[in-house]
Structure 1
Amino acid sequence: MKAVRYHQYGGSEVLNYEEAEQPVPGAGEVLVKVVGTSFNPVDAAIRAGFLHEVFPQTFPAVPGIDVAGTIAGVGAGVEGWREGAAVVALLPMTSAGATAEYVTVPAEALAAAPRTGEPADAAALPAAGLTAWQALFENAGLQAGQSILINGAGGAVGGYAVQLAKQAGATVTATASARSAQRLREYGADRIVDYTTTAVGDLGERFDVVLNLVTTSPEETGGLLDLVNDGGVLASTTTPPPETADRGVRTARVFLHGDAGQLAGLVARVDEGELRIHVAERRPLADLAAVHDDAASGRLPGKTVLVP
């Protein structure tokens, strides 16, 4: 089979589109024929070796933690899944990824794929959708009637967060550029702040929940505390927010974890028309190194799905 692999940590130049042996599912695993995977920023951090102590790789390594495809084989002890079933999953970050024609997936990670939309585009759901869900409800404890500021709503996680927060009954303020504004309005955002003309610190109001998806400097992340109501929550997927008990504000660092039940719930929302998957472009697996370069330089237009 063809796969994108790297044999050592480094820049995008270590990514090679090459022949690889087709994997065989072990006990508790299924073999998935990949119809799509997607780029996530963590893929580049893992490839570069920045996270080697947390997510060590076995070389040659295959990136890609999102997968959408069909089951092509079932390992020993797997129940409830059969060949030909369309599935999605978030792969363990230490296992071989989905930038390949086939990948083995723990059966416990699987969810049925959405019945609507392009099959490959379902690969844009697991990592980003689960991050949004866990940030809002596990980390921030968002409830109906609360106000939330989503800082960086134009990205993949932000788009899901806007939709889920609005459906939960929150009043949603989103920071984004003009190119994302219309899409976020369609998602239900009550207010959109163009961060290119208005600094987030100049909003002049406070929110019950602030979800930070973009600010990376410790100083700027700490400054977001001024936007949180007394007794509120600051959650961040990037730089850890400072610990504080001032004004009863709670802080939380968001760490993505796999949860097939949550993923199945997100798929159900997609099928019911309540949750929209946004894909900016589809590119062939052979373009993965260029996708990493585009992401590093800020040229990536949005969520990118890669197809074999």
Structure 2
Amino acid sequence: MAKNTMMRAVQYNTYGGGAAALKHVELQVPSPKQDEVLLKMEATSINPFDLRIQKGIVWPFLPRKFPHIPGIDAAGEVFEVGSGVKNFKAGDKVVAVLFNICGGGLAEFAVAKENLTVSRPPEVTAFQGAALPIAGLAAHECLLRTPGFNYEKTGQQLNLLITAASGGVGQYAVQLAKLGNAHVTATCGARNLDLVKSLGADEVLDYKTPDGAALKSPSGRKYDAVIHCATGFPWSTFKPNLSTNGKVFDITPTPSVFMTYALQKLTFSKKQLVPLLMTPKKEKLDFLLNFVKEGKIKAVIDSIHPLSKAEEAWAKSIDGHATGKIIVEP
């Protein structure tokens, strides 16, 4: 690619500032390194983790430098490959996690590591592909860490609670759990009760009702695991609702969550609050993409925004009431 080829992108120059800090710029199209592919972007999605990076919550690790182009999920077409890339060629449709290079999705082009890129089947649209990586992998990881859970539906049925089940991670958690040996209780807002039921949840609670606020199963079940996608629930709310060895997986852990987890480990507590620390893996993304291809899970998409209005998508994500995923397309 000619070195003077330019692209549109959205970036911010410092921590904080929310949607107002996003700047529309023209930049040189990046060149892929030996183990990278250059993608002509078709879609990306916004995750809570993107917002946490902007707020400085993962300082000093991310972003690695300013200015920073956010966006971790990517769906697009391979435009150019690095000299060491063996499994992709120009024209291939793919889904990728841009995590290891700290983002880049809010642009017309982005580079991805070959080992975090998977082929996108023709049955999967760019929007479906972009909605999947971080949210789907987080839900999948929580289930893999739940003792006794499996997708073969063998063994004892597990009782799972999924909070904020109409959100990006929650929607996948419900669907994936129902592909396995789980009875699912879910919480969401009143307007999304029917949606969450349609995703397969066995019991759905409005989080604003007394039982919803207390996280109590309508059938009186104790939870073997909780995939906690909401905020604002103290450990004391979870504890009486857990089975003897119940685990709560917090997908957006705060420092207090890590402190609680450490204390529980020191005291050999059987009930535990577990901060989710996830490392994306190519084989797991490919596994989930096949579920999408086969129609076993679907992406619930809240809204689609052009790159020229990326700040509207960002503000909607900050608001925290999206139903499913927020997509941005170049």
Same fold, judged at TM 0.5 (above) = yes
Q: Which amino acid aligns with 1:289?
A: E
Q: 1:18 aligns with which of 25, 48, 68?
A: 25
Residue in 1 that maps onto 2:168: 156
The yes-or-no answer on 1:237 pairing with 2:251 is yes
Give the conservation status (yes or no) of the 8 Å contact 2:226–2:248.
yes
The answer as to whether partners of 2:98 and 2:111 remain within 8 angstroms in 1 is no
Offset, 1:289? 1.8
Q: Who is 2:3 aligned against?
A: none
Query: In the alignment, is residue 34 of structure 1 matched against residue 41 of structure 2?
Result: yes
Letter in 1 for 2:12: Y
* Alpha-carbon offset, residue 246 of structure 1: 6.7
Distance 1:95 1:63 in 2: 8
Among residues 72, 79, 82, which one is paired with 1:65 in the alignment? Answer: 72
Residue aligning to 2:4: none
1:75 aligns with 2:82: yes
The equivalent of 1:199 in structure 2 is 212
1:198-237 maps to which residues of 2 (within 5 A)? Answer: 198-201=211-214, 203=216, 205-216=221-232, 220-237=234-251
Deviation string, structure 1 residues 152-198 (Cα, Å, up to 9, x no partner): 11111011000111111211111112222222222211111111223
Q: Distance in 2 between matches of 1:300 and 1:187?
A: 16
In the alignment, does 2:122 pair up with 1:110?
A: no
SS of the equivalent of 2:145 reads helix
- Cα distance, 1:253 vs structure 2: 1.0
Measured after TM superposition, the shift of residue 205 of structure 1 is 4.0
Alignment partners' CA distance in 2, 1:199 and 1:223: 11
1:47 & 1:247 partners in 2: Cα distance?
A: 35
**Where does structure 1 lack aligned partners over 5 or more consecutive residues?**
none
Pair 300,211 (structure 1): closer, same or farther in 2 beyond 3 Å: closer
CA–CA distance in structure 2, aligned partners of residues 223 and 299 of structure 1: 22
User: More displaced, 153-162 or 287-296?
Assistant: 287-296
Counterpart in 2 of 1:2? 8
* Residue 186 of structure 2, aligned match among 174, 191, 196: 174
> Where does residue 294 of structure 1 map in the other structure?
316
- Please say if 1:121 is aligned against 2:133: no
- Work out whether residues 9 and 25 of structure 2, in 8 Å CA contact, stay in contact via their aligned partners in 1: yes
| Secondary structure of the structure 2 residue equivalent to 1:184 | helix
Instruction: Please give the secondary structure, in 2, of the residue aligned with 1:256.
Output: coil
- In the TM superposition, residue 261 of structure 1 has moved relative to its aligned partner by 0.4
Deviation digits for residues 104-157 of structure 1, max 9, x if unmatched? 110000011242243233101001000000011136663451111111111110
Q: Secondary structure at the match of 1:52?
A: coil
- Of 6-15 and 122-131, deviating more is 6-15
Equivalent pair of 2:228/2:250 in contact (CA under 8 Å): yes
* Percent pairwise identity: 32
| Letter of the 1:231 counterpart | N
TM-score under structure 2 length normalisation: 0.86
SS at match of 1:180: helix
- 1:281 counterpart SS class: strand
Change (3 A) 1:40 1:93: farther
User: Is the contact made by 1:142 and 1:209 (CA closer than 8 Å) also made in structure 2?
Assistant: no
In angstroms, what is the RMSD of aligned CA positions? 2.0
The Cα of 1:6 is off from its aligned counterpart by 1.6
Q: Is the 8 A contact 2:100 2:113 kept in 1?
A: no
Counterpart-to-counterpart distance in 2, 1:130 and 1:302: 15
Which region of structure 1 is more displaced relative to structure 2, 69-78 or 233-242?
233-242
Amino acid at match of 2:318: A
